[in-house]
Structure 1
Amino acid sequence: MTEQDTLSATREAYDAAAAEYARLFRDSLRESPLDRAMLGVFAESVAASGKAEVADVGCGPGHVTAHLHGLGLRAFGVDASPGMVGLARSAHPQLRFENGSMATLDTADGALGGVLARWSVIHTPPAELPAVLAEFHRVLAPGGHLLIGFSASEGPSHPTQVFDHAVAPAYRWWPDHLAALLHTAGLFEVARMVRAPQPTDRRRFKEIHLLARKDGTESSGPGE
C-alpha cells in the first residue's frame, strides 16, 4: 500500500467513526491528570521559546487544541479527516482547524513554537515515520518543541509492533527507538512520561509522552 493509499484509508475510517470518536474522547482530559500535566509542561516550554503558535496535528474533534488555547497558546488543529475537522469547527468556532496531512503541513519553515502529535503517528507505517518527523522539524522554529504521544511496544527487541485498533491499522513504538528517530530528525529529547496501563484501559499498553526540542537556541525548561 502506498503512502497515499494509507492516508486515504485512514481518512475514510475516521470520517466514518468521527461522531462516535468525538463522543468518547471529547472530555477525556478531565480524567487524565498526568496527560494534563504533560500538556502543561509542553505549553510552558513553547511559551518560553518566545513563539507561541502551535499545530495540533491529528487534532480529531479539537478538544486538545482547545485545551492548549486555554493554556495561552495560539493553537490550531490539522486533521486528515474532513469529518473530524467539521466536528472540531462546530465545537470550537473560535479556533482554526484545517484539513491536511501531517507529512505535508501547509506551514512555512520555522513558523511554529510547538507541534503536538498526540497519538497522531500511530497509523503511520514505520518506513514513513522519518519523513513525518522531518516535517515536524521543518515547521518548528529553533528552540521549538514537539510533544509526541504513542503506545509502547513490548521491548527493545520489538521496536515497532502492529496492534488491533478499532479504526485503522496502528503501530506501537519502543520509546528509545522513537527517541533515536527524533534525534536523527534534529529533535532532541527533553523529557518523557511513561503511564502504566490502568485497570480500566481496554489495551494493556504503556502510554508514552516524549517532549523534544529543535536545536538552534538556548532554551530553559519551565520554572528555570
Structure 2
Amino acid sequence: MKLPLPPQSETGLMYRANELSGATLGEIAHSLNIAIPANFKHHKGWTGQLIEKALGATAGSKPEQDFADLGIELKTLPLDYQHKPLETTYVCYAPLTNLVGTTWLTSSVYNKLQKVLWIPVQGEREIPPDERMVGSPILWQPTPAQNQLLKEDWEELVELIALGKVESITARTGQVLQLRPKAANGKALTEAIGINGEKIRTRPRGYYLRKNFTQQILNNAF
C-alpha cells in the first residue's frame, strides 16, 4: 500500500485518526509495508513516525506543524495500564542564542501547541511494539488558562537562557513546560549564552510538556 497523501481538511484528518483507533501498531505497519522493530531500544521515535506516515503528515522534523496546511501538530502519547502518560512530551528544540525580539506569539512552542492531534498509544514496556494498541484521537486547543500557564513558563525559561543561566535550569523549573537536554548523546554540544554574556558550549535543549499537563488534557477529553 502506498503512503497516504496529506489530508485536505480537519474532518478528513479526524476520519483517518478514528480509523486507526483500536488497531495495533503491527496492523498499521503491515498495511503500510513498514518494518516493525523488536523493541524500542534503538528506535525511540518509531511509533510517532509510523502514525505520521499513516495519517499523511509532511513536516517530519521541520519547525512547522505536522499538518502545516491545517495548522495542526501531531503528538503520540504513550500511556500505562491506568491510562496515565508514561513520559513527558517533546514539543520542539529550544534556541539558546539570538533571543532578542523573541515573543511568546512568535515562538515555536506557541506555534506547535495552538492545535494538537493527540494519539494515545499503549506504552507499557512489556507489550511488544507490534501488539500495542492505538486509542481514540483527541483534537485539542489550549484553554485561555492553559495558554497562560504555557506562556508564563516559556517566558521564565527564555529569560533564564538570555541571562546566561541555562546551566542552572533544572527539570523542576516551570509549572507545565520544562527545558531538558535533547541530544542523541552527551557529546553533542551547541552554542549558548554564558553568565557574563560570553559564548559557551552546552548540550542542546528541548521544550517538554509535563505529564500532569497531558494528564489534564486526557481527563478533559474522556
Larger Rg: 2
What TM-score, normalized to structure 1? 0.28
Which of the pair is proportionally richer in helix? 1
What TM-score comes out, normalization by structure 2 length? 0.28
